[in-house]
Amino acid sequence: MSDISTRSASDLDLIAAAKRIGPIALREMRLAFAMLAPTILIVLAIVLIPLAANFWISVKPIGLAELRAAAPLVRERERGTLEAVGDTITVEYRVRSSSPSEPVTEVVIFDTLPPGLEPVETAPECVLTGAEIRCELSILEPKIQTRLNFAFTATQAYFDTGAPRLRDSDPTASGESDNVLTNFEFTLDNFAKVFDADEFWEVLWVSFVYTLGGTLGALILGLFAAQLMMTNFAGRGIMRGLFLFPYVSPVIAVAFTWVFLLDPFSGTVNAILTSTNVTSETINFLGQRGNALATVIAFEAWRYFPLAFLFILARMQSLAADLYEAAEMDGATPFQMFLHISLPQLIGIMSTLFLLRFIWTFNKFDDIFLLTGGASGTRTFTVNVYEQAFAISNLGAGAAVAVCIFFILAGFVTLYFKYGPKEEGM
């Protein structure tokens, strides 16, 4: 009894599993887990490391310029020429911090002089030892340039060595600075900026409308396409291949094609609408609020319905044909067979497609960016991430928006698995 009580819970579970499935099956299970372990670790690293980095950056007051630690930058400038013994040349070192907001401390600058130059003037921060120049600065303030001036006179030895240029040896600089990306100072200003922005709730609303519209549109189009492809007709194989065209085409090609076709001045669609008197004026599909959002939703549904079409068609082909034969003998119409036989058995695959397409559409950036650039009421969270991080160089705010996207999708997935539809038997 005492021996059993000292066993860990995991050991007892293994013993129970061994009694239930047998020792050989238990060893096979352990081997399977051992073989899958590298894959699992790689996947976790691919997913968790970028996610952790995004959370880290979201609480940092960091821009694109602060990704690297501040460092001293030095540039050498010469004035005058050395053509004869006794000529004088002035050298100026311009030193500044590479960061517009962070200082650099303990700055040390090194350079080497050509032989045969006698110092006439030396900057007070520098020491000349033989041919070596060493300058020490206690601090380099951001956005302030420090100048170190020297003057040298040429001797005969300078010309005996071939009159080398001072710039033949580049100055080097080193210093110490605090890297805002790696230190342990955190702030919630990025999130405050995101939530306090006037357009936050509008961006949230547009993101959900775009995501739901694009997702439902793709599923409905895919469902109708799959139902059509279940009918035997000449050229069905070719039609199935054509249905895949929007999904396999490069997004930049199809997006620019839509932009050209929908152009209010020279677009084909507006030319057809006005010539047939459907509209008296051209329609600005991508430049007017309301129209632009509806257009990008239509583009999303058109471009990604082939994915739903493939999955739904595969599921429909696996349905038992005798169910439809029995319903047809009972006098059921095609619509009734679809509503009462096909649709209930497609709920599982369609709910899975809805989950995947919702996540992918909510994270979509390239479609909207290529069509409208986020203008005309089509600015979603992903476009906001790009504008914050790269357009205005506020990387921390962009990461904060990305964290908001993560929590929104995590909440959606949680609610979906708890209350979403489930296929029979699941």
Domain span at 38 = 2-58
Query: Do 259 and 349 lie in a common domain?
Result: yes
The long-range contacts involving 313-321, CB below 8 angstroms and separated by at least 24 positions, are: 313/225, 313/226, 313/229, 313/230, 315/345, 315/346, 315/349, 316/226, 316/227, 316/230, 316/342, 316/346, 317/230, 319/345
Residue found by looking up tokens 């609020």 in the block = 289
- Are residues 404 and 314 part of one domain? yes
Q: Report the alpha-carbon distance of residue 351 to residue 420 in Å, rounded.
A: 8
Whether residues 163 and 34 share a domain: the answer is: no
From 58, 80, 100, the end of a domain falls on 58
pLDDT band at 46 (very low <50, low <70, confident <90, very high): confident
pLDDT value, residue 180: 81
Average pLDDT of the chain to the nearest whole number: 85
- Under the banding of pLDDT at 50, 70 and 90, the label for residue 64 is confident
Calculate mean pLDDT across residues 149-169: 84
Domain tally for the chain? Answer: 3
What's the average model confidence in pLDDT over 337-352?
87
My answer on whether 372 and 239 are in the same domain is: yes
Are 205 and 283 part of one and the same domain? yes
* Residue 182, in any domain of the structure: no
What residue has token string 């020491």? 127
Q: What percent of the chain has pLDDT over 70?
A: 93
The verdict on pTM exceeding 0.85 is no
Kindly state whether residues 374 and 331 are assigned to the same domain: yes
Q: pLDDT at position 14, please?
A: 52
Condensed to tens digits (0 to 9), the pLDDT of residues 96-125 reads: 988 887 889 999 999 988 888 888 888 898
Report residue 11's pLDDT band, with 50, 70 and 90 as the boundaries: low
Backbone angle region of 54, left / alpha / beta, with phi > 0 → left and psi within -120 to 50 → alpha: alpha
Distance in angstroms (rounded) separating the CA atoms of residues 63 and 132: 38
Query: Are both 132 and 217 inside the same structural domain?
Result: no
CA 368 vs CA 129, 214, 350, 406: distances in Å: 62, 12, 25, 19
Residue 310: the pLDDT is: 92
**Does the pLDDT at position 1 exceed 50?**
no
Q: Could you tell me if residue 184 is inside a domain?
A: no
Strands 172-176 and 88-97: unpaired
The lowest-confidence range among 40-44, 49-53, 224-228 is: 40-44
Query: 86 and 22 in one domain?
Result: no
pLDDT at 422: 63
Q: Are residues 123 and 238 in the same domain?
A: no
The reply to whether 383 falls in a domain is: yes
Question: 383-420: per-residue pLDDT in tens?
Answer: 999 988 888 888 888 999 999 999 999 999 898 888 77
Residues 226 and 348 in one domain: yes
User: Is 65 a member of any domain?
Assistant: no
Determine, yes or no, domain membership for 67: no
Q: Is residue 183 domain-resident?
A: no
Alpha-carbon gap, residue 37 to 110, rounded angstroms: 51
In a domain, 212, yes or no: yes
- The C-alpha atoms of residue 77 and residue 317 are separated, in whole angstroms, by 77
Where residue 158 sits, what CATH number does that domain have?
Answer: 2.60.40.1170
| Residue 69 banded pLDDT, cuts 50, 70, 90 | confident
Q: Are residues 276 and 393 in the same domain?
A: yes
Q: How confident is the model over 232-248, as a mean pLDDT?
A: 86
Indicate the pLDDT class of residue 223, thresholds 50, 70 and 90.
very high
Is 155 inside any structural domain?
Answer: yes
Domain boundary among 115, 149, 176: 176
Model confidence band, residue 131 (pLDDT cutoffs 50, 70, 90) = confident
Q: Report the CATH number that the domain containing residue 279 is assigned in CATH.
A: 1.10.3720.10
Q: What is the pLDDT of residue 205?
A: 93
Which residues have C-beta within 8 Å of that of residue 177, sequence separation ≥ 6?
69, 70, 71, 97, 99, 102, 103, 104, 105
pLDDT score, position 426: 46
Are 131 and 279 within one domain? no
Query: What is the number of other CB atoms lying within 10 angstroms of the CB of residue 363?
Result: 16
Residue 284 has pLDDT above 70, yes or no: yes
Centre a 10 Å sphere on the Cβ of residue 26 and count the other Cβ atoms it contains: 16
